[in-house]
Amino acid sequence: MVDADRGSLFLVEGTSAGKKTLVSKFFDVHAGTPLLPSGSTEDSNEVQVPWGKGIIGYVAEHGETVNIPDAYQDRRFNDEIDKLTGYKTKSLLCMPIRNSDGEIIGVAQAINKTPGGAPFSDDDEKVMQMYLPFCGIAISNAQLFAASRKEYDRSRALLEVVNDLFEEQTDLEKIVKKIMHRAQTLLKCERCSVLLLEDIESPVVKFTKSFELLSPKCSADTDNSFKDSVEKSSYSDWLINNSIAELVASTGLPVNISDAYQDPRFDAEADQISGFHIRSVLCVPIWNSTHQIIGVAQVLNRLDGKSFDDADQRLFEAFVIFCGLGINNTIMYDQVKKSWAKQSVALDVLSYHATCSKAEVDKFKAANIPLVSELGIDDIHFDDFSLDVDAMITAALRMFMELGMVQKFKIDYETLCRWLLTVRKNYRMVLYHNWRHAFNVCQLMFAMLTTAGFQEILTEIEILALIVGCLCHDLDHRGTNNAFQAKSGSALAQLYGTSATLEHHHFNHAVMILQSEGHNIFANLSSKDYSDLMQLLKQSILATDLTLYFERRTEFFELVSKGGYDWNIKNHREVFRSMLMTACDLGAVTKPWEISRQATELVTSEFFEQGDRERSELKLTPSAIFDRNRKHELPRLQLEWIDSICMPLYECLVKLNVKLKPMLDSVAVNRAQFAFPGRLSGTDRKPAVGLCWYLERHGALNRSVHSAPLHFNCCCKNLTTD
């Protein structure tokens, strides 16, 4: 259009003046040049012109048209290209190309007017001025399309990264290998490294692992195999002690170095060690999901020889976000695996040390089991201290047989012996909440079931759950209550929370024993019966939490008092079973005075030990019932305990079934012993105590009588049993 012999097009690259450059996309175009370039930019010998240098740089910087009749007479002209090509430049017309916003995006240059080498005219300038805006539109559209395509490719690549990372979360080396392969693909670099911190909580930056991958062009290994940290190599040592990586890890800021040897942070020793020449470096931090730095990722030397630009840095930072999640998840998975292994070892040790021996099992398997009448276990007033530890095992076996559990559920007898012995072994040697207490709770449940005829009301599955629940309801009790677990922040409280902490632990411990080899007494149940039984067992054990008792007893009391109890309603049955568990757990208060007193002393001693620990370990003043310094208050506290917790429950059970009245009578007798300590004895005791309880319950006695026990004793001494 302007009759030029040759022409060139330079496009602006870079975003800021300090980083802008002009790169030839079509250079030295002439009559014999094909319309399309012969190869990619990487393959062609592109010409780069610094911003503001030469005529092209001047036009780009100032946005002015330059029309020179003789280039060699202009000081801005650089003849280096003429020397290289052997071509003689004379006249020259150079104009900026702008986009729709008026920004200069390129420079067009026409060289040597033909024919005759005359200068370019004003008309040539006008033609160029009219033509180049259309070029600017076309170039802008092409650049927008290229940018859009590039973003699409990068977004797809990031999605592939996500897919890669979350396909493999079990092996750290495999996931880092994928990360580095992807980094090389995305950023087209020669070398990639990942360094992981030894301790993310430590203020001192110290890398514990390094991983490195070379591109095929730079590696002697044609299969591009993954090279891990190679702990013994000197290069690996340098990589771990890389000052740039340490800077990024400590500050959390990326580092992008275009010329490594011009940057004081770069240690040239790395090249000497590895024989690899580092030109450009891009290093970014790797963050986990809680925004903690867990390492750094580093890429070296773009394959095209250029430095990493802002777009590369943004892409790499986005890429590393997903890498951080993948690495963090893999590390967490590894920690979980180790925790599982520790737990597995602990369970294995526990299974060995906390289970009974074969000799013990054989002993009870071959033993003759006394009858119920010989053991006296059907008596509500059974002596809790009458059997030794082995006799309690035989008595428990008798209860299972007497209730028909062994036959009905096809319980293997040897397994039952082993299970009972292991349950006994898993009770700690605490003062009260030990194996004897568990057996006594079970015995009272057995006596209530058989005495009151509850066998006719409850299903066989419910009965089995209650009996097993009684034996397991305090497994591994530590002699301290739920409140102590919460106040001390114990491992149990952290594991189960502060609601029914111990009860959840007792149930889980019971499940653990059942799952131990040779201990599953429910092995022959159908899958439905097994599922139902485990649910009932959990309900039974959790029911021994007094907090749950207080939540449900009002419903129970109202149903009984209004005569609305319906055994066909699932919830009514569940509430009833819960009340039975509580009644048995508190059953010591229903036993004859000497037995009840002995149990009370054991409970009190255990409470005092907890109070001592609260004072010494937690630096707290224990409440009265746990404070041995306030033992003089125990009678009052026992009265409150019986009146608020025990008496209402047993009164309600008697309303439901009058056969349980002996339990309530014993509670009344024991209550009076605390109300009038040491004053009632001999043959006068029962009627006098009964009268005391009756009168006080009906408001006829006040505290003035309590303060004159001798006078009261005198009034009652002639009472007879009838």
Residues taking part in catalysis: 433
Under 8 Å CB-to-CB from 134, ≥6 apart: which residues?
none
Give 181-193 as a 3 state SS string.
HHHHHHHCEEEEE
Q: Distance (Å, rounded) from C-alpha 635 to C-alpha 597?
A: 12
3-class DSSP state for residue 213? strand
Q: Which two tokens mark 581?
A: 């568990």
Phi, psi (deg, nearest 5) at residue 277: -90, 115
Q: Please, are residues 573 and 466 in contact by the beta-carbon 8 Å criterion? A: no
Largest CA distance in the chain: 153
Q: Which two tokens mark 51?
A: 């911003």
3-class DSSP state for residue 439? helix
Q: Distance (Å, rounded) from C-alpha 617 to C-alpha 614?
A: 6
Rg (CA), the chain: 45
Residue-wise over 4-25: b if at least 16 C-beta within 10 A, else e? Answer: bbbbbbbbbbeeeeeebbbbbe
Pairing of strands 255-257, 293-302: unpaired
Q: Please, are residues 281 and 298 in contact by the beta-carbon 8 Å criterion? A: yes
Q: Distance (Å, rounded) from C-alpha 631 to C-alpha 679?
A: 19
DSSP percent split of the chain into helix, strand, coil, nearest 5: 55, 10, 30
Q: Which two tokens mark 402?
A: 């007497």
Q: Distance (Å, rounded) from C-alpha 138 to C-alpha 210?
A: 47
3-class DSSP state for residue 78? coil
Q: Distance (Å, rounded) from C-alpha 397 to C-alpha 123?
A: 117
Q: Please, are residues 104 and 98 in contact by the beta-carbon 8 Å criterion? A: yes
Q: Distance (Å, rounded) from C-alpha 452 to C-alpha 664?
A: 14
Residue 370 preceded by cis peptide, ω within 30: no
Q: Please, are residues 344 and 397 in contact by the beta-carbon 8 Å criterion? A: no
Q: Distance (Å, rounded) from C-alpha 484 to C-alpha 261?
A: 65
